[in-house]
Chains A and B, each alone.
Chain A
Amino acid sequence: MTHLASSSEITPEVVARHGLSPAEYERILQILGRAPNLVELGIFSVMWSEHCSYKSSRVHLRKFPTKGPRVLQGPGENAGVLDIGDGFAVVFKMESHNHPSFIEPYQGAATGVGGILRDVFTMGARPIASLDSLRFGRLDDPRQRHLVDGVVRGIGGYGNSFGCPTVGGETAFHPCYDGNILVNAFNLGLLRADRIFRAVAAGVGNPVIYVGSRTGRDGIHGATMASEEFSETSEEKRPTVQVGDPFTEKLLLEACLEVMKGDLIVGIQDMGAAGLTSSSLEMASRGGVGIEIDLSRVPLREEGMTPYEIMLSESQERMLIVARAGRERDVEAIFRKWDLQVEVVGRVTDDGLLRLLHAGKVVGEIPVKPLAEEAPVYERPMTRPAWQDEIQALDPDGIPVPEDLGRTLVDLIGSPGLASKAWVYRQYDSVVRSNTLEGPGGDAAVIRIKDTRKAIALSVDCNHRYCYLDPRLGAALAVAEAARNVSCAGALPLAITDCLNFGNPERPEIMWQFAECVEGIAEACRALDTPVVSGNVSFYNETKGRGIFPTPIVAMVGLIEDATAFAAPFFRSEGDLVALLGEAPGELGASEYLAALHGIERGRPAPLDWAREKAVQAACRAGIAARLFRSAHDCADGGFAVALAECCVGGPEAIIGAEVELPRGSRADALLFGEAPSRIIVSFDPSDRERAERIAREAGAPFEVIGRVGGDRLRIGDWIDLPIGEIRGAWREGLSRALREGG
């Protein structure tokens, strides 16, 4: 194999430039029994990058509960799959595209959406709902406003053209994201439970087929870029930016679904990060076989591309298929019909090697199994930060209660983080596919499943401040909030996917935050019986040594058995009674109120009582299923007062006031704006009061009627009394004003 031994080019510098440590390089030498050539080194480099190998996170992720009666596919495939009955299953996953979006917001976000869509339709599902979770820095910086604009356009530009509705998400701002924005895209698809496709190669001699767009020099080493900190030089190092082509993706979707209808293919995998490299290796590794690919047959967009470039290109809108021998023509005909590239580039072999040919020569040969199984796994050192105790200490006595609490409410609800996100989601098609029972604007999006009585409810959540102040509790609260949001739509929470965004894992403090957050999610998922079926880790969200707050984003998928019974998030009728499920203990720590109005990010989030949380959610679902509750909305950022105000002004049209009393007990600002979990505001017809009380009692949830819907003012005790129009104005305009004027 002399042709493979031309390794004089592999100097220690070249190894380092590929992000491989000397120890990792040693391991490569052992696996190959010789020095790699450049193509092979490139392949190891991307496969063993943090992004592809999960080498720092793997030991922790094992703690997640991943099984359950409905789980048809847990983590490890392109996306997780849940059985929803009636012969249907849903496929979903979330993924980050943080670094590319910072460099080129439109294309970065667009290709992020493209990537997650492919993950879902690779499994045979038609994508039916997208969510997007976004974090930006301070809006007084024009660069951030430009990023917001580009990211939102990019998500819309791709999703709208592709024809999958974007039905919800979250948008938050904090200085910790100034140098590292977060763009996490979620997608959910629908398929028949007995028609799941997997990314596996099998059947020696079966053809390996390349389909989709041509390969260009896009994003070479994107995966390694996503595994490094930003620095001054990353501007120069940047690869050709990937440009999304949603039209081709849409054709690819239709063609793939058509191919999957017949008995034509064995396995299929999208070419995501690390393109042809990871798709071929992962398929071979799952099938326990080898794959031989002739790179001369890969359709190229540019002339003179080398095997190295072809293997590492991250051009979008491509897939790799292992077809049944003899069915090549049928596969080709379908992709041609959709005007896509289709080329038999190789075949499945029995020697367990990934063998690459180019111009008649072998240009690379790697044993598949060791590359996957002997990939490095690190138990990185962890330390609880020295400052953790300090930031958890809070002395409320030093914080004055504002004189004008009405003014405080208006200021809070008009701040970009709490104001309406309509500016964002109005740029997304939320209705295409005719399933959107509840679009963006409420607690959870609700998507009906045609041909059944069912609907799916979706919510994506995370409070980054909670996670900074107490990573374990904060992450658990993210799961609890996502579940609560889904329960507010009347849905039973079933399972989650997550996207864990953190700083540099080589720093022990970051690794501690990560491990704590994973524990928190695991604990919450066990408590709520909602397994983790898929997920994604994004490390190195750090610029010049400054990391983001730990930001484990959680997306919950819930099921509504009878889609005709679900509640609106907003008050609907004058005269309805308002009740609080749960209690108002009045805790100030970690609140948006402290951060936004007093500039204090300290204390601890209010503790979670799982029994209470579950009881409150169960009562809410039962009240909705019994068609008692006309509205249900949880108390989250901004606490009780903000939630109540949203019930009044959040509806698409009519706005409606309310009058409520809160039991006194603690200081007024804590009662109004404290962020204790496990609370839901519901409304119902007065004649249903006793039934409502009974439902809450049976579920074991605290329940208190606190007031009544009606009028054109919002009154809370003798603290707040405001015309509803004033609140509405601040809430509606808050975000667009900040984007226009900054700050």
Chain B
Amino acid sequence: MNAAIATPTTTWYLLLAAVLFAIGVVGVLVRRNPLIMFMCIELMLNAVNLSFVALARALGDIGGQTTVFFVMVVAAAEVVVGLGIMVSILRKRPTATADDLAELKG
């Protein structure tokens, strides 16, 4: 195995992140459970984080990592609030899927 080829470059990481991101997007589109949709969003955020770190390394700039830190905080805050909202609505109608929440339309 040729070492020159063997070392994954930033591009690899970025592509991996892109695929992960796309899977997350697809997940949001196809899943009906709001919780799982939200998990998919977490996937997307992780893809972004991965990109940031890879880019930070490529650029030799720590700023990308700092950003990841903030993203994590945001993700945490989002999870708290998001789950709060979901709990408050799913408590009343536990079987509800995202498709059932369609009172508002048109």
Is B one of A's binding partners? no
Instruction: Give residues in A with beta carbon < 8 Å to B.
Output: none
